[in-house]
Structure 1
Amino acid sequence: MDAIFYLPDIDLENKEHILPQEEAKHAIRVLRMREGDSLLLTNGKGYLIKSRINSIEGKKCIVTFDEAPEKRKQPYKLHMAIAPTKNINRYKWLLEKATEIGVSTITPILTSHSERRNVNLARLEKILVAAMKQSQKAYLPILVEMTMFNEFVTKEQKGLLYLAHCDTEFSRESLVASYEKGKEATIMIGPEGDFSKEEIQYAINKGFQSIHLGNSRLRTETAAVVACSSIYQLNF
């Protein structure tokens, strides 16, 4: 299977392109690719273009399209709003897996029980790019800056709105039972201490549906992956 290289600013009208420095280094030094070798180019916005290395000049790698660019359609759109975990490595892991499975937008949210109050977006973006390439995706998830819970809930969100939590004092429906195939959806996942009762009620008042992800009590990162996987499976 051909390796994927990320060019965020591909000029689709131009067949010839120079790989960014890091991508060129990976192609030449790590993969030891040569002139004539085939590869795939993506801008993370729906294009996955069969291409070929035209020439290698020192550290410069020039590639050429082998086919006309054609945008791929997303089967569904999923926005995940997830409270960062105290252990940032767990959050990095869930972002990687969510990207591999399929997610359109990711927003870190700050809640009343959050134990981590900031994230390095640049580092997280690199994880998303690597996961997109590894899983042969044509779309790179949009990573939004950290947003306060109330601000996120108050903003106008598109499609089906879900708040996943463990508080049995509230009526909850299964995500699998309530989701409609092909529909755009937003799913909120809380921190290790879950959402507060006040947050749950506030979200419900703003139109979010109270849901559960099964009988097990899941870690934040596990819940996020289960939610992504459920939407993925329901669309295929």
Structure 2
Amino acid sequence: MLTCFAPDLTPAAATYQLSEDESKHAVRVLRLNEGDAIDLLDGRGGLYTATVAAANPKRCQLRITHHETVAPRPYFTHVAVAPTKNLDRMEWFVEKAVEIGVERISFLRCARSERRELKLERLEKIAISALKQSGQAWLPQLDELVDYAAFVASVAPETTFIAHLEAGERTALAQVASAGLGCCVLIGPEGDFTPAEINLALGRGIRPVTLGTSRLRTETAALAAVFTAHLARPQG
């Protein structure tokens, strides 16, 4: 069944009008007709079932027939990553992270970052598409690009970890991620965090972690962090 994104839909609503893009896809591409069923999600835990009341390709009208609310996951995963110069790699990461399950993605401007600016519009659309495809109920928060030092100063050090490549003792992320109900993992740019950035995090009480023995590309490391935290989180 077709799933559409309805961010402004509320549980009290009896009817709903799809956006022009969603209307066109439902009526022109999928050829839905009056009486056909459709699923909706609002990105805030709400799942809806509806039927087509008027199959207009610009203003498809729906009649809501059922609503349920999915509780948020008990474990909060937050990845803060320096976006790559090639934006396709970040798009791939966002898509796969949403499919697996992530609550928040932040973007860092680091000393060695090759990308200094970032527009979220395209990434938000990819996140919504992945949400619909994967059947998730909660759309993750995507944050604007922020300077690394400002971000480090804003997070809770007891639940934040830095995955860097410098020598030194590090704990496996799976081990520390399973010890609580949430974690934030910092992932650096292609050239890694600078020693000064690492020391800044350690000075704040942020602990160093490892994602394994392989040297991973930025987007791979970020996805590995999401996947590791997902497996370590309490299930159910």
User: TM-score normalised to the size of structure 2?
Assistant: 0.93
Shift of 1:112: 0.7
Q: Does 1:196 align with 2:175?
A: no
Consecutive unaligned residues of structure 2, counting only runs of 5 or more, are none
**What is the distance in 1 between the residues matched to 2:156 and 2:104?**
12
2:15 aligned residue: 16
Shift of 1:62: 1.2
- Deviation larger for 146-155 or 197-206: 197-206
Q: CA 1:75/1:39 → structure 2, altered by over 3 Å: closer, same or farther?
A: farther
2:231 aligned residue: 233
SS at match of 2:12: coil
Per-residue CA deviation, residues 7-27 of structure 1 (Å, 9 max, x unaligned), is 111132112101111111111
Q: CA 1:180/1:58 → structure 2, altered by over 3 Å: closer, same or farther?
A: closer
Matched residue count? 234
Shift of 1:196: 0.7
* Mapping for residues 73-222 of structure 1, pairs under 5 Å: 73-157=72-156, 160-168=159-167, 170-180=168-178, 183-222=181-220
**What is the distance in 1 between the residues matched to 2:157 and 2:138?**
19
Contact kept? 1:158, 1:184, Cα under 8 Å: no
Amino acid corresponding to residue 231 of structure 1 in structure 2: A
**What is the distance in 2 between the residues matched to 1:206 and 1:86?**
28
Contact kept? 2:27, 2:57, Cα under 8 Å: no
**What is the distance in 1 between the residues matched to 2:9 and 2:190?**
40
**What is the distance in 1 between the residues matched to 2:14 and 2:86?**
44
SS at match of 2:55: strand
SS at match of 1:218: coil
- Deviation larger for 60-69 or 39-48: 60-69
Contact kept? 2:17, 2:60, Cα under 8 Å: yes
**What is the distance in 2 between the residues matched to 1:13 and 1:158?**
40
Q: CA 1:159/1:79 → structure 2, altered by over 3 Å: closer, same or farther?
A: farther
Shift of 1:209: 1.2
1:53 aligned residue: 52
Q: CA 1:158/1:49 → structure 2, altered by over 3 Å: closer, same or farther?
A: farther
Shift of 1:160: 1.5
Amino acid corresponding to residue 121 of structure 1 in structure 2: L
Contact kept? 1:159, 1:186, Cα under 8 Å: no
**What is the distance in 2 between the residues matched to 1:68 and 1:178?**
37
What percent of counterpart residues are identical? 38
Q: CA 1:182/1:32 → structure 2, altered by over 3 Å: closer, same or farther?
A: farther
Consecutive unaligned residues of structure 1, counting only runs of 5 or more, are none
